[in-house]
Every structure is written in structure tokens, then in C-alpha cells.
Structure 1
Amino acid sequence: MRASDAERERVAETLREAVAEGRLEMAEFEQRLEATYTARTHGELEPLVRDLPAPGAAVAPVGAPVARTGSQKRWTERIGRPATSSGAFAFWGGFGRRGNWTVGRKFTAFAMWGGGEIDLREANFEDREVVIRCITIMGGIQVTVPPELNVEVRGIGVMGGFGERAKDEGIPSPDAPRVRITGFALMGGVGVEHKRSKAERQRLRDAELGRPGSGALGDERGRGRLEKGPDAS
């Protein structure tokens, strides 16, 4: 999503408040401020204030429990939400479902002469059992899932491909939803990739190095993975 001038100014105000409170050093403030005014999208703006409170917002005391969002949540917190999307369509174009969204228990994606992206790494789930149907004709659909998700891939490719590859090693969690990915690819492809998000890989690195801020990994998803090491890419 493209960022507006008003949104850039709100981020700049948050940075000014942070440097006034001593949360940012002047050098870092100047770097972030310059990046704010050159940012073109929300994705470029959001990391600049991710670790800062909004101006005037109440700040939790040091040591207070931190509210988890996205992939920081336990699987039990990510199941049973109302669906925000139950399908996607692309014809001579593309679609994307990523970030903090809730996938319906039955989700159908169609792409013809186009492409689409379905990212479940930060997603919530309407039900513990989810079926994602991917149909593509001379197009492509990429599905990205966290390594701890229980995934079953059953699709057919004709003059094309329908399959999965595991990039990041991980053990499926017994508390995670079960996602069945089915469908049909004609002269196109549907790919399922197991991959952690950048934020998740950074939390794993911090946990291994004993850095502050890694406490959110003290749930069932963090155990049993640190011996394997983070992905180097």
C-alpha cells in the first residue's frame, strides 16, 4: 500500500517524541527521519516505529508481559477468529494475502494468466482444519507457510507443477492448525514453501544469543527448534 504525506508526518512525529524522551540517539533519529520522508509504502514506514510507542500512548512498566502479535502468538491464540478472506482471484493480474489476516476454513484461489501469493506465516485461522484450493491456468500461485504448521499438499499439475519444498527445517506443532492444500495447475504452477518470516528468524537469533526481547519465544513454538539453527538466508 502506498504511503501518504500525512502518514509519513505521523511517523516523523513519533520519531521526534522518541528522541525527546531519550528512546533514540540523535544519529539514529536522523537516519530514521530521512528514511521516513523517502518511504513510498507502508512496508517501508512500519519498521521505523515498530519498537516505539505512539505519541501520548501509555507505556507498560519494564518487565510487564508484552502483547504478542502475528507469529509471536501461540497457536491457540491464532485459531477461531472470524475469517477476513475466503478466496482470491487474478486474471491478467495478481493478488496477495499476507500479514495479519484470517484465512477461512475453506479458501479458494484462482489465477489465470496471472499470479498470486498466499502467506500464512502471520495469519490467523478460522478453524483448526483449513482447506486451501489453488487453481491456476497458465499462471502461478505461491503459498508460504511457517515450518511448524501441519501441512498436507495434494494437487495435480498438467504441463506444469504442483508441489512443496522445505526451506526452513521445523517440527510441526501439535497445537497448530492442519492445512490441506489441493488444486490443479494447467501449464502453470502452485508452489508451497516452508519458510520463517524475517521477524521470526531475528527472534530465533536473539534467543540463541541471549539478547533482550526474546521472551516471546518461550512458548511451544520455540522449543525443539533452536538446536537446528536459524536459516542463513
Structure 2
Amino acid sequence: MSTPDSGAIRIGHAEREQAVETLREAAADGRLTLEELDGRIEGALAARTRDDLRPLLADLLPPTDVELVVNTAALQARQRAGEPGWAWQDPLVLTARWDDVVRAGPWEVPPFLELHPVASNVKLNFVDARLTSEIVDVVVHGGAGDAILIVPDGWGADVSRVEKGLGTIKSVVDTRPVGREPLLVVRGKGALGTIKVRHPNRFDDWQRQRRLDKGGGIYAKN
């Protein structure tokens, strides 16, 4: 599920300054006129929430980059803390060599993930996950195992950027999310295994109910 009212979250100087810098770069590239630049900078400096900034940048950047701008302060704080997954250059890396790697329950999802299903499977269940961004960038480096991504109804998943290997790429999830629901952008390259994006099945629902009966904690298997 998406973070409630994430667009209404207040921003600070870091987000405004990053937005202004982005607008100036766009004008230097000839993508904005000087009049447009002045109007948008005025709007950026007056912005109070993430939703105030998004329309100013939507026609200049891909959605993933827009989210980086409007989440600048939060991302910088987590980067300073040295936590992986909060910078494109330092993703949260999950590697399955001889045993499966699983994340389920109310686990916190950073915006940048890198999956290595070397000889076993990497399975991420986002149904009860705590989202920190409306776009999650997932890079898959395929191996002999499968990469399995389970998302709630309403989410979107774009797998068009994955280079197919000898395995398969399967997604039954709509490319575009519904409203402000999250979007998974899956990139990388497959190999022998399968990259699957799907909604929960009966077995997933049964596992989830068992977790809830036991207190609903995070299930993490490395």
C-alpha cells in the first residue's frame, strides 16, 4: 500500500533548492523559456508540500527522478546514516546463493533495490510493506534462481526495461498504477531463472494470515 497522504508531506529548503536547480538546468538546455523559468522558480520557492513541487517538474523529468527531487531531504538523511537503498549508487542488495531470500510483512522498502537470484530465489512481498517512495527502482541481475515480486491490487509494474535472458519475464500487473498507488520500475537482465511480478495467490494469503495470527511481524529470510 502507498504511504497515506504522501503528497501532503511538507518539504523543506533542500527540496526547494533541488527543484530550483533542476529548473535552471532545464532552462539552460532550452527546455524552458525564461518566462517559464521565472514562473516555476516562484512556484518552487513557495511550495509547501511534495504535491506543490511535482507539477513543476512532471514534464521535465521521468517519474523516478521527480520523486528523488521531492524526497531530497529524507533521502539525504538516510544516506548520511549510511543505510543502503537510499541512493541510486548504493542500493539495498539482496543476494540468494544457496538459500532463498524472502521479505514479507510490514518491512520498510527503500526506493532502490538490487536483486541477485544467483542459485536460489529472491521473493519480495509488498502487500504489507511500508513504502518510502511512490516509485521503487528494482534492478535484477539474473542467475539460476527466480526473482518474485508480489504487489497489492492497484500497484503498477513496468518490466519493459528488463533484458531477457534464457529464462522468462512474466508480469500480470498493469504497467500503470491506479491513482497515487506505487509503481515498480524493474530493470536489469534475466538469465536462467524467471522474473515474476504478480498479485498475491491463495498460498500467499494463507502465509499472510498465519503471520497476522502470530502478531503480524516482519518475515525476513536470508
TM-score by length of 2: 0.48
Relative contact order (alpha carbons < 8 A, sep ≥ 6): 1 or 2 greater? 2
Q: Which has the higher helix share?
A: 2
TM-score by length of 1: 0.46
Flag the structure with larger Rg: 1
